[in-house]
């Protein structure tokens, strides 16, 4: 073989550089260094996962020549698997939830994989979820192997075997903290365990996204209801076996907007072209550096590349459409609006009687009431739904449970979402249920927005 060449593309996995941030960290006492694992040949840190999962499956006899690799993936692990599969003659079927970028879908199809798209926001145990569909395909496909990155110990083992030692070698052990986003948790678990074995006082910092279940569980042991989010590659709506919460020293939770802002700033101020999970990890590292407020060497892993987000995070129109770029004359946030309202929020349980809910709405002068069941939002009861129930059942319906009058004429919003983002919601006759950390924080109707804007905007000179 020619001198200087590698035997195949898998030999190019690893040995990605570590670089220091400069402009984004100005004023911080700590230094932040980025491990650019998105420079792997498949474009992400998951190249090493794909290689290790396949090699270990082959060794155990779980994956045989001519077999089919099946996985539920957000894209990056799929590409890592597809790259190795191409060399070894395996077929690939990947199942993706509809929330992921089309660039990732196209990349997987370009690698020769069959891609199955599932609904974006369904419960993990729903038969339509990506993992459920992947398991069904495995059962229907002779010679199929389920990679199962969220529950396969070969995922964190890959990072313990390769990424951890690589970081330790490159830094010569001179790191005080390691920061990584929490998706499957395999990176922080694998790298973290290795680093702790070398130096127990190395701090491990996980970065989570608002809407995920990880942060509240780690902080208080509380399991909250998951909500949708836009950042890809981190966060979860259930608990993977590959995430070891016990080794985490600190966890930071961030908003979509904070992650996207740092992702764009990395490209424009540091020349680092990472994706949303990488931006989230750096945003978390900056937050951690502010928290400790002392000199330290912080290494943060950037797992994904920017090229898969050109039509989303790096597109100004997409950012404005989703409320992540403030337009001129910003209308403020939902939290600002709630500041003008009474902090009292009235809710009822699903078994509340219709007559009691009618009395509550009349006595308190409200037209909408959220309905909860064991901390889960079931919907809202509004005047239109009550009127329809009374027309259908008359007085006979008064002593029945209110769950028969629940309406879906609402949208859930985070308190920090821009008011202007929800104009179309009010045009559809819906209300906004403001939901934060498993609780209803407020209810916003069209008249609330009108009142907020009427008192917020300055009076033109000619009308004074």
Q: Are residues 309 and 348 in the same domain?
A: no
Q: How many domains does the chain have?
A: 3
Which tens digit of pLDDT belongs to each residue from 6-60? 999 999 999 999 999 998 888 889 999 999 999 999 989 999 999 999 999 999 9
Please indicate, yes or no, if residue 298 is contained in any of the structural domains.
yes
Q: Are residues 60 and 131 in the same domain?
A: yes
Please indicate, yes or no, if residue 168 is contained in any of the structural domains.
no
Which pLDDT band, with edges at 50, 70 and 90, does 458 fall under?
very low
Q: Are residues 407 and 452 in the same domain?
A: yes
Which tens digit of pLDDT belongs to each residue from 190-216? 999 999 999 999 999 999 999 999 999
- Tally Cβ neighbours within 10 Å of residue 347: 17
Which tens digit of pLDDT belongs to each residue from 239-255? 999 999 999 999 999 99
Question: Does the pLDDT at position 221 exceed 80?
Answer: yes
Question: Does the pLDDT at position 4 exceed 70?
Answer: yes
pLDDT at residue 456 in the model:
59
Q: Are residues 262 and 189 in the same domain?
A: yes
Of 321, 352, 377, which residue constitutes the final position of a domain?
Answer: 321
Q: Are residues 299 and 409 in the same domain?
A: no
β-partners of residue 206 are 180, 251
The two three-digit tokens of residue 1, written as one number? 């073989």
Which pLDDT band, with edges at 50, 70 and 90, does 413 fall under?
confident
pLDDT at residue 461 in the model:
37
**Per-residue burial over 245-264, b = 16 or more CB atoms within 10 Å of its CB, e = otherwise:** beebebbbbbbbbbbbbbbb
Question: Does the pLDDT at position 129 exceed 60?
Answer: yes
Mean pLDDT of the chain: 88
Please indicate, yes or no, if residue 3 is contained in any of the structural domains.
no
Alpha-helical (H) ranges within 127-223 are 130-140, 154-158, 164-171, 186-198, 214-220
**Picking from 37-41, 279-283, 415-419, which range would have the lowest pLDDT averaged per residue?**
415-419
Q: Are residues 262 and 287 in the same domain?
A: yes
Question: Does the pLDDT at position 329 exceed 50?
Answer: no
More confident residue, 47 or 406: 47
- CATH of residue 206's domain is 3.40.50.1100
Please indicate, yes or no, if residue 435 is contained in any of the structural domains.
yes
pLDDT at residue 327 in the model:
55
More confident residue, 415 or 340: 415
Which pLDDT band, with edges at 50, 70 and 90, does 405 fall under?
confident
pLDDT at residue 357 in the model:
87
Task: Assess contact for 401 and 393: CB atoms under 8 A.
Answer: no
pLDDT at residue 451 in the model:
82
Q: What is the mean pLDDT of residues 255-283?
A: 94
Please indicate, yes or no, if residue 166 is contained in any of the structural domains.
no
pLDDT at residue 328 in the model:
42
pLDDT at residue 457 in the model:
45
Q: Are residues 432 and 354 in the same domain?
A: yes
Please indicate, yes or no, if residue 175 is contained in any of the structural domains.
no
Percent of the chain predicted with pLDDT > 90: 51
Q: Are residues 123 and 189 in the same domain?
A: no
Question: Does the pLDDT at position 322 exceed 90?
Answer: no
Q: Are residues 315 and 186 in the same domain?
A: yes
Give the pairing type, strands 376-382 and 368-373.
antiparallel
Which tens digit of pLDDT belongs to each residue from 75-113? 788 889 999 999 999 999 999 887 777 777 888 898 888
Q: Are residues 382 and 271 in the same domain?
A: no
pLDDT at residue 321 in the model:
85
Nearest to 90 by CA among 141, 150, 140: 141
pLDDT at residue 243 in the model:
96
Task: Assess contact for 241 and 153: CB atoms under 8 A.
Answer: yes
Of 297, 321, 345, which residue constitutes the final position of a domain?
Answer: 321
pLDDT at residue 421 in the model:
66
pLDDT at residue 219 in the model:
93
Rounded Cα distance between 456 and 441, Å, is: 21
The two three-digit tokens of residue 452, written as one number? 């907020």
Question: Does the pLDDT at position 392 exceed 70?
Answer: yes
pLDDT at residue 330 in the model:
59
Please indicate, yes or no, if residue 359 is contained in any of the structural domains.
yes
Q: What is the mean pLDDT of residues 406-433?
A: 77
Give the pairing type, strands 439-444 and 431-436.
antiparallel
Nearest to 314 by CA among 103, 75, 50, 46: 103
Of 125, 146, 167, which residue constitutes the final position of a domain?
Answer: 146
- CATH of residue 344's domain is 3.10.580.10
Which tens digit of pLDDT belongs to each residue from 350-366? 888 888 989 888 888 88
Question: Does the pLDDT at position 326 exceed 70?
Answer: no
Rounded Cα distance between 151 and 241, Å, is: 5
pLDDT at residue 459 in the model:
37
Residue 304 lies in domain: 17-37+180-321
Please indicate, yes or no, if residue 11 is contained in any of the structural domains.
no
Which pLDDT band, with edges at 50, 70 and 90, does 463 fall under?
very low
Q: Are residues 113 and 236 in the same domain?
A: no
Q: Are residues 299 and 387 in the same domain?
A: no
Task: Assess contact for 75 and 130: CB atoms under 8 A.
Answer: no
């Amino acid at each position: 073989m020619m001198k200087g060449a590698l035997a195949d593309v898998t030999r190019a996995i690893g040995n990605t550089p570590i670089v220091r941030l400069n402009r984004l960290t100005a004023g911080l006492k700590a230094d932040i260094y980025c491990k650019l694992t998105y420079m792997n040949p498949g474009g992400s840190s998951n190249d090493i996962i794909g290689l290790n999962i396949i090699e270990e499956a082959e060794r155990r006899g779980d994956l045989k020549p001519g077999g089919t690799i099946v996985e539920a993936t957000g894209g990056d692990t799929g590409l890592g698997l597809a790259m190795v599969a191409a060399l070894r003659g395996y077929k690939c079927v990947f199942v993706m939830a509809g929330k992921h970028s089309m660039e990732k879908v196209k990349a997987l199809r370009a690698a020769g994989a069959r891609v199955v798209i599932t609904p974006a926001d369904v419960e993990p145990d729903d038969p339509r979820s990506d993992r459920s569909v992947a398991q069904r395909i495995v059962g229907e496909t002779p010679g199929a192997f389920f990679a199962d990155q969220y529950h396969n110990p070969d995922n964190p083992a890959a990072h313990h075997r390769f990424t951890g030692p690589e970081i330790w070698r490159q830094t010569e052990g001179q790191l005080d903290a390691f920061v990584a986003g929490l998706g499957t948790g395999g990176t922080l678990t694998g790298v973290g365990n290795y680093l702790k074995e070398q130096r127990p006082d190395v701090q491990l910092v996980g970065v989570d996204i608002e809407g995920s279940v990880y942060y509240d569980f780690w902080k208080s042991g509380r399991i909250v209801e998951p909500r949708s989010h836009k950042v890809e590659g981190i966060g979860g709506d259930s608990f993977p076996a590959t995430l070891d919460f016990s080794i985490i020293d600190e966890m930071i939770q961030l908003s979509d907007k904070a992650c996207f802002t740092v992702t764009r700033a990395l490209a424009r101020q540091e020349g680092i072209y990472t994706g949303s999970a990488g931006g989230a990890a750096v945003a978390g590292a900056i937050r951690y550096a502010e928290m400790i407020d002392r000199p330290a060497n912080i290494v943060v892993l950037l797992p994904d590349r920017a090229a898969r987000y050109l039509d989303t995070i790096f597109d100004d129109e997409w950012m404005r459409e989703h409320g992540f770029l403030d337009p001129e004359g910003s209308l403020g946030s939902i939290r600002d609006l709630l500041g003008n309202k009474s902090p009292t929020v009235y809710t009822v349980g699903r078994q509340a009687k219709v007559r009691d809910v009618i009395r509550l709405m009349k006595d308190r002068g409200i037209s909408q009431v959220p309905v909860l069941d064991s901390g889960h939002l079931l919907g809202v009861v509004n005047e239109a739904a009550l009127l329809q129930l009374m027309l259908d059942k008359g007085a006979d319906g008064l002593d029945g449970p209110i769950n028969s009058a629940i309406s879906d004429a609402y949208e859930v919003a985070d308190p920090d979402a821009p008011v202007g983002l929800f104009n179309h919601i009010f045009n559809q006759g819906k209300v906004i249920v403001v939901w934060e950390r498993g609780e209803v924080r407020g209810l916003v109707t069209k008249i609330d927005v009108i009142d907020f804007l009427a008192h917020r905007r300055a009076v033109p000179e000619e009308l004074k």
